[in-house]
Amino acid sequence: MTHNLSSKELNLDKLSYIFNSKSDFYSHLNQILADLHPFLAVYDSLMGNVELVLGEAINNGVTHGNKGDISKDIKVDIWLDNRVLCICVEDQGEGFNFNNIPDPTSPENREKLTGRGVFLMKSLADLVVFEGNGSKVEIHFKL
């Protein structure tokens, strides 16, 4: 099931969202989190990590992947697989070399204002896997 954020239909098996890369992606993130809340309310401590990681993945897709081009979409799919919350975020950008990301904790990178997103995602989620050219990321949280 794929729908725009204006649709409020929920599915326990899978939630899917498609929206363009306009700069105010926070309203989309807030809608997704509101839809997830009934399923994750008992995992209150997990919600903060999900919010940060999902926000970072969407921001990366909008900013770096689609470069803010509103003609390009972001697709978010969320499903439960046994006791794992799976999130997939995909942009329509050219991708990036996810095997060659500078370590933001190394001395030469500590004072840079960017470059911490993937590190943050990998620190807060149980699994982060980039696919294809890097324009698609799958994120897992164990429940």
pLDDT (tens digit, 0 to 9) for every residue of the chain, 143 residues total? 343 433 333 345 689 999 999 877 888 999 999 999 888 877 878 999 999 999 999 999 999 999 999 999 999 999 988 889 999 999 999 999 888 888 888 888 788 777 788 999 999 999 999 998 999 999 999 98
CATH of domain 14-142: 3.30.565.10
pLDDT value of position 129: 97
Beta strands in 91-135 (DSSP E): 127-131
pLDDT value of position 75: 97
**Interior angle at CA 19, CA 14 and CA 23, nearest 5:** 135
Counting beta carbons within 10 angstroms of the beta carbon of residue 62, is it exposed (0 to 12), middle (13 to 18) or buried (19 or more)?
buried
pTM, rounded to two decimals: 0.87
Q: Is 29 helix (H, G, I), strand (E, B) or coil?
A: helix
* Nearest of 29, 121, 39 to residue 84 by alpha carbon: 39
Task: Please tell me what DSSP assigns to residue 3.
Answer: B
